[in-house]
């Protein structure tokens, strides 16, 4: 039987780099944004190392963008 897993707050998706504005991140293989220690998550373009709060903020923004693209489900 299917059991719902603990809800992840967000899907993992690339977030916008605050430095260069690109949406290309390097993530660890088993990345969990809530895990401590965080990441590491880096910008693939400029090498910026995301902080956890920064990443989560970016994820929020990104999800809102994606939601507005795909419309309400
Ligand atoms: Zn960057």
Q: For 22-39, what is each residue's pLDDT tens digit?
A: 999 999 998 999 999 999
Residues in the chain: 73
Is the pTM of the predicted complex or chain greater than 0.85?
A: no
CA distance 70 to 12: 17
CA dist 28 and 67 (Å) reads 25
Ligand 1 is an ion; residues with CB less than 5 A from it: 17, 19-20, 43, 45-46, 48
Ligand 1 midpoint to CA 23 (Å): 8
Q: What was the pLDDT predicted at 1?
A: 62
Check whether 62 has a pLDDT greater than 90: no
pLDDT over 90 (residue 11): no
Q: Which two tokens stand for residue 31?
A: 């990345």
Which whole number is the average pLDDT over 53-73? Answer: 85
């Amino acid at each position: 039987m299917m059991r719902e897993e603990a809800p992840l707050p967000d899907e993992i998706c690339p977030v916008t780099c605050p430095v260069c504005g690109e949406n290309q991140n390097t993530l660890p293989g088993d990345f969990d944004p809530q895990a401590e220690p965080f990441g590491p998550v880096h910008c693939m373009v400029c090498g910026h190392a995301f902080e956890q709060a920064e990443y989560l903020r970016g994820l929020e923004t990104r999800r809102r963008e994606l939601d507005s693209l795909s419309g309400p489900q």
